[in-house]
Homo-oligomer: A and B are copies of this chain.
Amino acid sequence: MSDRPQQVVINSPLDMHLHFREGAMAQTVIPLSSYSFAGGVIMPNLVPAVNNLERLTGYLQEIKSIVGDDVFQPYMTVFFKDYSYEELEQFKPHILGIKLYPAGVTTNSEDGVAALDRVETTIKYMEELEIPLLVHGETHGFVLDREKLFLPIFEHLANKFPRLKIIMEHITTAEAVALLDRYENIFATVTLHHLIITLDDLAGGLLRPHLFCKPIAKRPEDREALLKAAIAAHPKLMFGSDSAPHPIDKKEACGCAAGIFTAPIALAALAELFAKHNALDRLQAFVSDNAQKIYDIIPPQKFITLESIPFKVPATYGDVVPMFAEREISWSITKLF
């Protein structure tokens, strides 16, 4: 063993599932992503939702003004609804995909799709126009079953629209991982936190509101399946943090909002995790190459050097508590160029 720190250089890391919010919160969180990532998929579940061209271009402008001189490509999305072919054609040059939320399942998804069959015309147009469908795949069932109960809907869509790229967002179960190998046109993102925590971390000891997220963290065998696929850099799996900032008074409260804020610590924590599993050589694929191939995108070049040098996570970024607050991650970003 050498005393010199281990090192890994990642070219153009991508965060394929990101919540940037708007206004003051966007000012806090966007620079934390644009610092270390070369691009990210920006979720449209604002209030009101990003679901028309004006709102989309306005939001993109806001993001670009905050990103400033950082090298960072925001890949925009719009909120799924019953769009006409013409609307979709207008969106197409500006977006990476369309995000579908089953109604009421997660933060600000009240306007999501209540019944899929009523909107299959829009999905058919998307297939024709080669616009990927990004899905928060949960039903309204019991909290631990919601993802599993949604999987038949993914299978239905995959069969009915074989040329549509379908992305299962933030998967949390072994059953969802298994689906990747059964349908050519089904892909997935997975978060940092679902590779690390289970329901035990949220509620096994004291209750930890800053580890409360949707979909909720599941069983140890689910985490194992996700981790196994991630460290193998399964070619249909992409990193997407689902980094979701909420002010501290919305988390440490009587009704705590769902969301874990991981953007500023994600790369260091992933390096630590992949190093622990002797998988550093597969981190590049997991955090960038897989997404480039799946979405057929070429992100801006940006080299991030990570080293096995400890990094103490701050207690807060603005009024947001990050994952691992005040704890040490054994890896850190040491160089950007």
Contact = CB atoms under 8 A, between A and B. Distances in A.
Given A252-B253, A253-B252, A143 B200 contact: yes
Interface string A209-224: 1101000100110000
Q: How large is the interface on A (under 10, 10 to 19, 20 to 34, 35 or more residues)?
A: 20 to 34
Contacts of A208: 254-256
Interface string A127-151: 0000000000000001110000000
B142 A209 contact: no
Contact of A219 (B144, B220, B257, B258): B144
A68 interface: no
Interface string A166-209: 00000000000000000000000000000000111011111111
Contacts of A212: 203, 207
B204 A142 contact: yes
A204 B204 CA distance: 16
Contact of A254 (B199, B210, B254): B210
Contacts of A204: 142-143
Nearest to A250: B206
Contacts of A255: 205-208
21 contacts: A142-B198, A142-B204, A142-B219, A142-B220, A143-B199, A143-B200, A144-B199, A144-B219, A202-B203, A203-B216, A205-B255, A206-B256, A206-B258, A207-B209, A207-B255, A207-B256, A207-B257, A207-B258, A208-B254, A209-B256, A210-B254
